[in-house]
Structure 1
């Protein structure tokens, strides 16, 4: 079978498996929410509400129905792309919640990923190009430390140093209340401010975005540093690299133009997995920095046992991770001709 045919079958198989993966995730989320302690009615009405009022509210929400009936109703809603309505914010549709808060999460995720790639690849190249040197040891320590440090602790430390003590950056918001927020079609403050040509809003949005994205990006950069360092070291020992050196090509050009290009192929592969880590890290980052994104809204919904909101946001995140994973696999297959399926 030719490579193009096998690749087509692989893509088709991944696309067919995607609904099965989403169904598995939604089922696990549904069951875990109902297995955890806590009652959403108590979270909404409080512990002192009369039992008759609580029972009436549970019946209105369908929580008194058998579990299998609740599950079938939930799956039916998902098939209609209906994520339901919140039970703690006066029936706000979950889709409206996603539309309102997701742009802040996207902005944080994109900036954090950019910082992670730039820092991780740069440190990995410096470390691999000077083996057994001080830079190599420092690069390895950087990768281990950034991978091992707890994100919430680093976030609080960064706020304490740069926001509280030094006062260099703002604390606990996305945009100052004294200025009008950027208005545009995307909901991304940096993009919308450029769209309207307001540079003041653009630099203000970057200023408020810098500290949380730097924190998350630095801790994710260790993943890319370790991958680039290991693969670049192996690539620098390859025959074609030695041949380039024998032709008198400067070492800097050998590393950047010949070896690094092939060493970055595994980075593309790991992007899909890192994207899932990025969403998980976004929850801790948004909660720590009080960033008004979708992950922070998910944390609030979990605290209030808001079943529809938690289920809807997690299904939305799961769909993004599954689609991103498929896209990265396809891209990697086209970039690296050695891959066979």
Structure 2
């Protein structure tokens, strides 16, 4: 599946930034926790750790990570430099980085990880027996008589060659001034993959523009800020997008392709839910719950002389438990009890107690009055 960005979508991406559009996880799940170690829970039962820096990293799997998968994104190429205003209308954009996927499931060997830097290293993951890489997109070229947009990282898709040349994307050819399509992550994997529902897009080609034409980039790529070619929007950080190009001089920062990213996903370790009956009755059995899923409400406990009044999330019994709420970490639920009246089996009721006491007092008063009358009459 390939993706072409419209001008409206491009503006939204440029405004959103990398953390919310390209690297963001579902907000309700994205919190570091016990089952994910240093990662975040991005879907029920799925943890993710993002590497965005250019230094070498080591990921150490655990035996509980029965599923372990890695996505590699190469860096984008830069848009061509314009040392002076170009009246002939030549402009070219950079290619998008390659996007690849590796399945490390079943291995507990350390994985050496490197993240692609624009204009430098490529993204790699290697545990000694399994290894792969994602190449960087190429830089665009502009000469007096030739204009060539950068190729995508795997060189499968070439940048357009002409007056206005967009960069090839990781998922498709450039279309004149437009950047080539990027790659949607889910399109790379088979059903059952931890990335199966990941709809993020990486590796789009940069777009070219002039005072009379505006190209639109693939996902993450840079491009003209408007139809008049007055400036560039930089590629989105860590998207693998190619840099844009204009017929006027632009800074190296605005023309630069984006760095790549390496995403590691694994199955989250179960969390434990325990029940504290606070010294009364028999506690329900503890539950092992997949993070992001809700637990099962147990059968209400029983205790002689007490009525069970529900489960609470805190020992002070101020937060009632909602068993439809997903768990993301190990926790304990606490039982609330109310004493029962032994004679009738009824329960005490704080609201009715003053009324009962009033009735008792009134009855006592009637007995006293009757006794006094009998004494006077005798």
Normalised TM-score (structure 1)? 0.23
Larger RCO: 1 or 2 (CA < 8 Å, sep 6+): 1
Normalized per residue, which structure has more helix? Answer: 1
| TM-score, normalised by the number of residues in structure 2 | 0.22
Higher strand share: 2
